[in-house]
Chain A
Amino acid sequence: MIRAWILCSGILAQTLNAHEDLNSVIRSLSQKIRNSPTAELYYQRGIEYRAAREKLHARTDFQSALKINPTHQAALRNLALLHSQAHEHKQAIAVATALLDTSPSPQTHLLLADIFYTAKDLPNALKHVQLSPPEEDHTHLLHAHLLQDDEQVVAQLKRGHEITKSIVLRNAWIDALIATENSKTALPIIEKELTSSRFRASWLIRRARVLRSQNQKEAAKRDLLEALTELQKRISPTCPDLTLIYDRGLAYALLDRKKEAQTDLEILTQSRFSPLSYQLLVTLLR
């Protein structure tokens, strides 16, 4: 299964020549750069290189842009991202901090929060996420993830949902409610979703978690098995939808089928699926 996933993921593509497509755009930008180089031209070519997945070229171009104009905001942002993705945390932090110095903005705080989170510097991640844009789902998801106190997590996600109205935060809030065994608020919403949804697996799993906390183990098991049946119909054996692999991993873990749950977790880990979003599965498998 993992092998199949690796095959259907992009790894094969690395061997292809990424130049053949965006070539003409890159060539024409190169020509302009040869005639009269500007920070903006280097930045634009960097963006094209990144689209062609030529990360090294992209990085060099962003750096060249910054040599001409050290406060080019988009170049700073993109260079910081490239460093962070390459796990060059120090450089990423330095570049993003330079961006924050030239133009402080909530978006830059979120960038720094992400960079510090990737660098496993959680106190600094928390410091910056508190100044991140409140209209972003990701701000609240990361913020909640960084909080220690369960009640604070619930409150953060609730506030996030009130601001953004996003269903993603509403569902994350319900998950947090379940984790704090606050089934009184969660259960009516879960029941409503179960009657109005076409695919019910994620809601069956949520109800099973509530039922387990109420020691109704048999009822929980029934929900989990029903969820698994539905998930198997939706999961393509060769190239699965990773969001469903996560659901299935949860169902297995809750059914105490640890080995199968572990396999699903491995698929998620290898796919670079954000650890932020499979934290619950990791916790259940501990």
Chain B
Amino acid sequence: MRRSLLFLLLITSSLFAKEPFARDPYLQLATHQSIHLVWRTEGDIKPQVRFGTDPDRLHRLVPSHHVTTRTSDPKSKQPLHQSVSPQIHQYEVFLDGLQPKSTYYYAIFDQHGKRLTPADSSYRFKTHPTPGSDAPVYFWVVGDSGTGGRAQAQVHEAMIAHNQKFKRELDLYLHVGDMAYGSGTDHEFSTRFFPMYETTIRNTVCWASMGNHEGRTSKGITGIGPYYDAYICPTEAEAGGLPSGKEAYYSFDYGKTHFICLDSHDLDRRPAGAMAQWLKADLEKTQAEFLVAFFHHPPYTLGSHNSNVEKHLIEMRQHIMPILESGGVDVVFTGHSHIYERSMLIDGAYSTPTTTDGVVLDDGDGDPAGDGPYLKSAGLTPHNGTVQVVAGHGGTGVSRRGTMPIMKRIIVENGSVLVSIKGDTLTAEMVNLHGDIRDIFAIKKSGTVVHTPLLDPWEPEPWTKVRKKAPPKAPRKTTPLIAKGSTWAYLAGSHPTGELNAWTKPDYVYSNWKTGPAGFGYGDKDDATVLNDMRNKYRVVYIRKDFQAPKKMDPNSLGLNISYDDAFIAYLNGHEILRVGVDHEQGATAEDFTMHEANGKFQYFKLRGLEKILKLGATNTLAIEGHNANIGSSDFTLHPALLQRTK
């Protein structure tokens, strides 16, 4: 009895113990001899930082008076955004006098000398190699990830697992924007960006470019807002390149690679604008051998966005791409469009709409094990070929609206890109949220390579053909764990009570919900439970059902066979497991839908990554929210079945 009381006490005290950090420590702006460390606490802790090359002997000390403190007090220097609680203290430490290409370990202490970061060697950082030196670089590229949802976490976990498997360590992390949906508020950064990547950004610098969602609360022109509070970007060429005078666009060097970040969202994109003039000067100056550019709005895409008709995308293609290509850019990473699209080796594709006419230099797949890497001249050569990578698939719902003809790979899955530049070769891998390598391409730069545009290049399958292909059907041999037409509990016309995901959890009390047989909907005569009051009244229907999972089964043998119109999000035991046609958020605040007609057909989705979620030999809860893209739509359908694949 006493033991259980003690246990209870321990649990309660740990529940109420104050987290040391309001934002866990993360790294910013690294050079070959310095780095910045940033974190937040609630209340002033007058911190000190210790660091050193030996994790057991952190012999160098940064006293508290050398730590920059920022609060939202408007009278303070560099105040944080007004939405930040006055209790929050953001600390920024500049560590310099460091050795190039060296690993240091760090720890943060409060004013009483209490160590706040655990004695854990993952609290470390690595300085850049000496600029111009021959060191390899390995980096992670993520876009459009900041939902705080399961797909975002899975993409992150898949990257970590991939690096463990191949014994690799990140040197840096590029985020191409939309990192804190829906408006990049301080709170959204604190819940949807920092905690999601905490284990990576405590030892890897995230170099960011601003997305349109952050642009709702942060402005490139003033450098003010939660985005600019979160990041410390170069303004005076601290890490290489030329000074831009603005955090919104900048460049930096890592060994022989030059990285350029642009603000495609809210600054003048025209060639006479300050950003383009800076870009021109920066490109003329760099002596690097590889050139990587990154920004939010993709010059080429037919994912969730269309670069043939949207202003920002057209302008990045027409105004900025000519400058980058006459400067010899190798790869351009972007996001915004929620898809993975990767081009062939192209040059000069600035016309609208985008075609392959006279712009494809190599129509192979660039895969060293396939058609072979794309070849380019050594060093940076103007108009020698660029690979465009749209990596807007980092965590939000993915979709496709067409076939962009210059693309070699079009993959509608969540994931991220891992890039290594070593010697004369750049190799990039797209790793999806399950850890599968879904695309590889390489660029090998040596000697002199002269390209002339191909007369009749390969083109991906036209959209009309792709679209006609039948949606995936359920495997032939299955056992239903929840059969078609089963009875579900459902909530229509209001939103569930409690915390955001509470209604998806097994222990949720839903006695006031109705019950009825699937499917649910109206308008297309395919529904068993007809929701006559739905049209023009409400857009979301919530359903949930318990089921028994066999004791012995492969958790990855489950699939959802579902007839739906327009979109849905599925949860298993409180965890989001599948999201189709909903780009952002969930429940009452869900937005950006892809329309889909059920047409009386069922589509099969394999469910993966359930190992830690599915309870074998026990009761599980499947919960689904169905969405209509338009409240006045003529129909709505939600009819799921849960199938187990059998041999």
A24/B350 in contact, CB under 8 A: no
B593/A24 in contact, CB under 8 A: yes
B-binding residues in A (CB < 8 A): 7-10, 12-13, 16-18, 20-22, 24-25, 27-28, 31, 35, 50-53, 107, 133, 135-138, 141, 164-169, 171, 193, 196-202, 233-236, 238-244, 271-274, 276-278
Supposing A10-B352, A243-B280, A274-B270 touch, asked if A28 and B593 sit within 8 A by C-beta, the answer is: yes
Return the contact of B382 from the options A12, A166, A234, A273 (Cβ within 8 A).
Answer: A234
| 24 sample A-B contacts, Cβ–Cβ < 8 Å, listed by A number | A8-B350, A10-B318, A16-B308, A20-B306, A21-B401, A24-B592, A24-B629, A31-B631, A35-B631, A138-B268, A141-B274, A164-B245, A166-B243, A166-B244, A167-B282, A198-B284, A199-B283, A202-B280, A236-B322, A236-B326, A239-B348, A243-B271, A243-B280, A277-B272
In angstroms, how far is the closest chain A Cβ from the Cβ of B9? Answer: 50
B276 interfacial by beta-carbon distance below 8 Å: yes
In angstroms, how far is the closest chain B Cβ from the Cβ of A133? Answer: 8
B197 interfacial by beta-carbon distance below 8 Å: no
B306/A167 in contact, CB under 8 A: no
B591 interfacial by beta-carbon distance below 8 Å: yes
Supposing A10-B352, A233-B382 touch, asked if A165 and B591 sit within 8 A by C-beta, the answer is: no
B427 interfacial by beta-carbon distance below 8 Å: no
Closest A residue by C-beta to B279: A243
A16/B270 in contact, CB under 8 A: no
A31 to B282 alpha-carbon distance, docked (Å):
46
Closest B residue by C-beta to A272: B270
A115 to B286 alpha-carbon distance, docked (Å):
36
Closest B residue by C-beta to A202: B284
A164 to B352 alpha-carbon distance, docked (Å):
36
A16/B271 in contact, CB under 8 A: no
Prevailing SS type, chain A contact patch: helix
- Of B309-317, B416-424, B489-497, B500-508, the one with at least 4 CB within 8 A of chain A: B309-317
Supposing A28-B630, A166-B243 touch, asked if A7 and B351 sit within 8 A by C-beta, the answer is: yes
Interfacial chain B residues near A239, Cβ < 8 Å: 322, 348, 350-351
In angstroms, how far is the closest chain A Cβ from the Cβ of B300? Answer: 14
In angstroms, how far is the closest chain A Cβ from the Cβ of B537? Answer: 11
B309/A53 in contact, CB under 8 A: yes
B236 interfacial by beta-carbon distance below 8 Å: yes
Return the contact of A235 from the options B281, B282, B326, B350 (Cβ within 8 A).
Answer: B326
Beyond known contacts A9-B351, A136-B221, A243-B280: 10 more, CB 8 A cutoff: A20-B306, A24-B629, A133-B222, A167-B243, A168-B277, A197-B284, A199-B283, A199-B327, A236-B326, A278-B272
Return the contact of B272 from the options A7, A16, A52, A273 (Cβ within 8 A).
Answer: A273
B326/A22 in contact, CB under 8 A: no
A171 to B279 alpha-carbon distance, docked (Å):
13
Interfacial chain A residues near B243, Cβ < 8 Å: 165-167
B274/A107 in contact, CB under 8 A: no
A242 to B350 alpha-carbon distance, docked (Å):
13
Return the contact of B322 from the options A241, A274, A276 (Cβ within 8 A).
Answer: A241
B323/A243 in contact, CB under 8 A: yes
B281/A171 in contact, CB under 8 A: yes
A273/B270 in contact, CB under 8 A: yes
A171 to B227 alpha-carbon distance, docked (Å):
30
B455 interfacial by beta-carbon distance below 8 Å: no
Interfacial chain A residues near B242, Cβ < 8 Å: 167
Hey, what's the 0/1 contact readout for B412-456 against A, CB within 8 Å counting as 1?
A: 000000000000000000000000000000000000000000000
A13/B353 in contact, CB under 8 A: yes
B325/A20 in contact, CB under 8 A: no
Interfacial chain B residues near A234, Cβ < 8 Å: 326, 382-383
B150 interfacial by beta-carbon distance below 8 Å: no
A50 to B235 alpha-carbon distance, docked (Å):
30
Interfacial chain A residues near B352, Cβ < 8 Å: 9-10, 12-13, 16
Interfacial chain A residues near B274, Cβ < 8 Å: 136-138, 141, 166, 168
A169 to B245 alpha-carbon distance, docked (Å):
10
B287/A53 in contact, CB under 8 A: no
B480 interfacial by beta-carbon distance below 8 Å: no
A240 to B382 alpha-carbon distance, docked (Å):
11
- Which residues 225-279 of B have a CB within 8 angstroms of A? 235-236, 242-246, 268, 270-274, 276-278
Return the contact of B383 from the options A16, A24, A236 (Cβ within 8 A).
Answer: A236
